[in-house]
Amino acid sequence: MIVIVDYGMGNVRSLSNAFDFLGYDAEISRDPADFASADRIVLPGVGAFGDAIDLIRSLGLEAPLNEQVLQNRKPVLGICLGMQLMAATSHEHGHHSGLGWFDADVVPMVSTPDAKVPQVGWNRLDPVGDGWLFRGLPAKGNDVYFVHSFHMKCRNAADVIATTHHAQTVTAAVARDHIVATQFHPEKSQDNGLQILQNWMERDF
């Protein structure tokens, strides 16, 4: 069973609909007992970093997430803000500490007349490495749906498994062992997104 962590931010219903559509059993929960019994965990999120990490901490979810992901090495997928929360620090409206699963900073994107911030819409993926998460996507037309103003800068380049271009090189997906995350929304990226979720589900970690 997949548990989608519900800490009150994000369209979790679309995610559970996407997993249902693919034939997987997904439950929306904020109960640490469900994290413990889950096979996989999804950490979603839409909104501001500070609010989100405060909610995760005030709901008492940080320690149970760390236990499942860091100690029990349970596969986890972060999406959008859920990915950024996995960074060590964020500079969104102040300075915040994150879950620290990636040695990375969340920094503002540069806005230009041709590439406005927030980046809202479909953009191309440039996979880095073996591209396991993007297997089966058309080489021309691997666009996915992004909505964000900040992005993750990894200190360890090997953590980055895809980038996209929006006036600058933007981190689109990261992975280290069983910890995987996407800046874009696979659950809103039509076929490409469904394929990515399927690839994650079929991956042995």
Partner 1 sequence: MLKKRIIPKFLIRDGRLVKGIEFFGGWREAGNPVSTAKVYDSYGVDEMIFLDIDATLQGRPANGRIIERVSEEVFMPLTVGGGITTLGQIEDLLKSGADKVAINSSAIADPGFITRAASRFGDQCIVVAIDYRSGPDGAKVHTRCGTEPTDLDAVDWALRMEDAHAGEIMMTSIDRDGTMDGYDLDMIASLANRLDKPLIASSGAGTLKHCMDALDAGASAITISSMFLFTDQSPIKVRSYLSTNGCNVRSQHGSRS
The residues carrying an active-site annotation are: 80, 185, 187
76-79 vs 160-165, strand pairing mode: unpaired
CA distances to 19, 142, 189, 200, 205 from 136, in Å: 18, 9, 14, 12, 19
For partner 1, the closer CB: 46 or 70: 46
Q: Site mask, partner 1, residues 4-43, x = CB under 8 A?
A: -------x-xx--xx-xx----------------------
Residue 2 Cβ, how far from partner 1 at the closest point, in Å? 16
Of 55, 107, 115, 201, the residue at the interface with partner 1 (CB under 8 A) is: 115
Using the rule CB under 8 A, give the single segment among 65-73, 98-106, 113-121, 152-160 that binds partner 1. 113-121
47 binds partner 1 (CB under 8 A): yes
179-182 vs 76-79, strand pairing mode: parallel
Residue 71 Cβ, how far from partner 1 at the closest point, in Å? 33
Is residue 82 within 8 A of residue 148, CB to CB? The reply is no
Residue 171 Cβ, how far from partner 1 at the closest point, in Å? 16
- Measured torsion, CA atoms of residues 169, 175, 180, 183, in degrees rounded to the nearest 10: 0
1 binds partner 1 (CB under 8 A): no
φ, ψ (nearest 5 deg) of residue 118: -70, 150
Residue 160's contacts (CB-CB under 8 Å, 6 or more residues apart) are 128, 154, 171, 173, 174
Of 39, 97, 141, 155, the residue at the interface with partner 1 (CB under 8 A) is: 141
φ, ψ (nearest 5 deg) of residue 114: -90, -15
User: How far, in Å, CA of 158 to CA of 53, rounded?
Assistant: 25
143 binds partner 1 (CB under 8 A): yes
111 binds partner 1 (CB under 8 A): yes
φ, ψ (nearest 5 deg) of residue 191: -55, -45
Of 24, 31, 32, 48, the residue at the interface with partner 1 (CB under 8 A) is: 48
120 binds partner 1 (CB under 8 A): yes
Amino acid occupying residue 134: F
Which residue ranges make up the site for partner 1 (CB under 8 A)?
A: 11, 13-14, 17-18, 20-21, 46-48, 111, 115-116, 118-124, 138, 140-141, 143, 145-148, 165-166, 187-191, 193-194
